[in-house]
Amino acid sequence: MQFKGRTVFAFVVLTIVTSVFVTIIVTDKLEGKPANASMSHVSAATDAKTELTEDELKRINSVIELVETKYVSDIERNELVDGAISGIMNALGDPYSVYMEKEIASQFSQSIEGSFSGIGAEVGMENGQTVVVSPIKGSPAERGGIIAKDIIISVNGDSLAGLSIQESVNLIRGEKGSKVKLEIKRSGHSEPISIVLIRDDIDIETVYSSIDEQGIGKISITQFSMHTAERFAVELAALEEKGLKGLVIDVRNNPGGVLQGVVEIAQLMMKEGSVVVQVEDRAGKKEKTYAQGGEQKEYPIVVMTNGGSASASEILAGALQESAGATVLGQQTYGKGTVQVSFNKVLSDGGLIKLTIAKWLTPKGNWINEKGVTPDIVVEPNAVYSTAPLNVTDELKVDHLSEQVRGLQIMLDALGYKVDRQDGYFSKQTETSVKAFQKDQQLLNTGIVDSKTAMKLEEKVIEYIRDDQHDVQLQKALNQVGRK
């Protein structure tokens, strides 16, 4: 499933994560020392140069002096310094190694704690483009129809071409209650998709659980923040007290988070001494993290994944798949197999450097970077879950051909109205189905999709998607644990 609920209308509340939020070792204000003791060997090379030479300093100072004295406009020196630091990070060619100015760094720290502002989508840089890693499950961005791998090409008409991740995020961010119009490029769509969202502040709960009358439980993890492991342990214990007979763990559209948190969650369901994850440093030295204090569960476990399951989500899926006998079900995951450290005392002004310092490997030593974790059981969601919201500026009617019409046909089909094609050509059968829908919704029965019909279609599609009975991946997962 790509998202649970969506809309393009102004009443929707939306948020965005303000930085690249991927597998992280939180330094907890240590200078260059990972907080996780088991990762202590992963550090900078001891032979690294620590100071710039006189010639290197002279080159940098000469450029700054030239700009300050000759550039056509006045510019603050701190802007030049920020630009220089950003340039150093950009030179790495690594989308996960970034410099964050003080304000962005502060909001990044808030996101790790589980609360932040924006539209609820994890974004990163790929080939110079601002790409959605994943909308956070249950977030307004997810409800707005944003999915993993969407490329944001403009914000309120301003192109993001050539901008850094921080510059892009600065455009997407804004005051609570303000609108933001995103132009999205999506695979399979020849035309850009326009989505209007409303910004807001949110405080995210990262763990949700439920259990049915057959004793089949489900725990959804939306991201791995500082307190997620503790919350997961509480919810799992509560389900087990209720007679848990099988468990579905849902990490779809979970962009990742704190490494230590996912280790603590995984080892709850693994035999003592089992390998949870391996980390390989720049010298090729590997260190294994072993499960402690947990136990292999007697009940079956299924982990649900999709293309928005990244980083720490992939660590969990890989660990349980290879070391605990769990079944991974759904779609191929994102494929993010590196580890970052946040250095928040290197810079004296409150800025932050997030730097890739290692690779992570599955228990059996597989590096899933740019490949992802392969599900044991592949289950594709209904096409309506990834269909772009209708943005009807011109009425849709017979003989029209467009991506909007294709989306309309997919929606009608999901809602039970017969369509003879889903290729974007507005056929007579499509018109008949539109008329049937309009009649059922007490709309003017014209067979033409105007703004009122589009709005009602969106409303009904949201209801459809929010009904777990239509979530084919979830239903397959529940059946899978129920059969074992």
Q: Are residues 240 and 362 part of one domain?
A: yes
Q: Is 129 a catalytic residue?
A: no
Residues forming beta bridges with residue 201, ordered by sequence position: 117
Q: Examine the pLDDT at 306 and tell me if it is beyond 80.
A: yes
- At 214-235, the pLDDT tens digits run 999 999 998 898 889 999 999 9
Q: Examine the pLDDT at 17 and tell me if it is beyond 70.
A: no
Is residue 297 situated within a structural domain?
A: yes
Q: Are residues 183 and 240 part of one domain?
A: no
Structural domain ending residue among the three candidates 202, 233, 263:
202
Q: Examine the pLDDT at 420 and tell me if it is beyond 80.
A: yes
Total of domains in the chain:
3
Is residue 85 situated within a structural domain?
A: yes
Q: Are residues 326 and 277 part of one domain?
A: yes
The DSSP annotation for 114-128 comes to TEEEEBSEEEEEETT
Check: CB of residue 251 under 8 Å from CB of residue 474. no
Is residue 119 situated within a structural domain?
A: yes
Q: Is the Cα dihedral 44, 48, 53, 59 positive or negative? A: negative
Q: What is the pTM of this model?
A: 0.77
In degrees to the nearest 10, what's the CA dihedral of 465, 470, 474, 477? -170
Q: Which of 166, 260, 309, 340 is catalytic?
A: 340
Query: In this predicted structure, what is the pLDDT of residue 435?
Result: 98
Rounded to whole angstroms, the Cα distance separating 323 from 320 reads 5
Q: Is 164 a catalytic residue?
A: no
Is residue 213 situated within a structural domain?
A: yes
Q: Are residues 315 and 229 part of one domain?
A: yes
Is residue 134 situated within a structural domain?
A: yes
CATH number at residue 364: 3.90.226.10
In degrees to the nearest 10, what's the CA dihedral of 433, 439, 444, 450? -40
Is residue 167 situated within a structural domain?
A: yes
- At 332-390, the pLDDT tens digits run 999 999 999 888 878 888 889 999 999 999 999 999 999 999 999 999 999 998 888 88
Query: In this predicted structure, what is the pLDDT of residue 6?
Result: 29
Query: In this predicted structure, what is the pLDDT of residue 220?
Result: 96
Check: CB of residue 359 under 8 Å from CB of residue 43. no
Structural domain ending residue among the three candidates 364, 382, 400:
382
Q: Are residues 220 and 126 part of one domain?
A: no
Question: Which residues, including other chains, have CB under 8 Å from residue 120's CB and lie 6 or more apart?
Answer: 14, 15, 16, 17, 135, 136, 139, 140, 141, 142, 202
Q: Which of 137, 218, 297, 336 is catalytic?
A: 336
Highest mean pLDDT among 23-37, 49-63, 423-437, 453-467: 423-437
Q: Are residues 156 and 183 part of one domain?
A: yes
Residue among 172, 248, 142 nearest 482 (CA): 248
Residue 168: pLDDT band (50, 70, 90) is confident
Q: Is 441 a catalytic residue?
A: no
38: how many CB neighbours lie within 10 A of its CB? Answer: 17
- At 186-201, the pLDDT tens digits run 987 888 999 988 777 6
For the segment 141-147, the average pLDDT, to the nearest whole number, is 82
Q: Examine the pLDDT at 457 and tell me if it is beyond 70.
A: yes
Q: Which of 311, 342, 404, 409 is catalytic?
A: 311
- At 57-101, the pLDDT tens digits run 999 999 999 999 999 999 999 999 999 999 999 999 998 898 888
For the segment 402-418, the average pLDDT, to the nearest whole number, is 96
Dihedrals φ, ψ of 152, to 5°? -85, 115
Residue among 302, 263, 269, 207 nearest 23 (CA): 263
CATH number at residue 442: 1.10.101.10
The DSSP annotation for 210-251 comes to EE-TTSEEEEEE--B-TTHHHHHHHHHHHHHHTT--EEEEE-
In terms of residue numbers, what domain contains 227?
Answer: 207-341+356-382
Mean of the per-residue pLDDT values of the chain: 85
Rounded to whole angstroms, the Cα distance separating 33 from 22 reads 18
* Three-state secondary structure call for residue 268: helix
Q: Are residues 395 and 416 part of one domain?
A: yes
CATH number at residue 169: 2.30.42.10
Q: How far apart are the first and last CA of the chain?
A: 23
The beta-strand segments (E) located in 92-186 are 98-100, 115-118, 121-126, 129-135, 151-155, 158-159, 179-185
Is residue 425 situated within a structural domain?
A: yes
Q: Examine the pLDDT at 41 and tell me if it is beyond 90.
A: no
Q: Report the percentage of the chain scoring pLDDT > 70.
A: 86
Structural domain ending residue among the three candidates 150, 175, 202:
202
Query: In this predicted structure, what is the pLDDT of residue 261?
Result: 94
Q: Which of 171-180, 219-228, 268-277 has the lowest mean pLDDT?
A: 171-180
Q: Are residues 74 and 159 part of one domain?
A: yes
Q: Are residues 254 and 184 part of one domain?
A: no
Q: Are residues 28 and 166 part of one domain?
A: yes
Q: Are residues 368 and 220 part of one domain?
A: yes
Residues forming beta bridges with residue 24, ordered by sequence position: 258, 340
Rounded to whole angstroms, the Cα distance separating 11 from 200 reads 11
For the segment 436-444, the average pLDDT, to the nearest whole number, is 97
For the segment 316-339, the average pLDDT, to the nearest whole number, is 97
Q: Are residues 190 and 71 part of one domain?
A: yes
Residue 291, token pair as written in the block = 């499960």
Is residue 195 situated within a structural domain?
A: yes
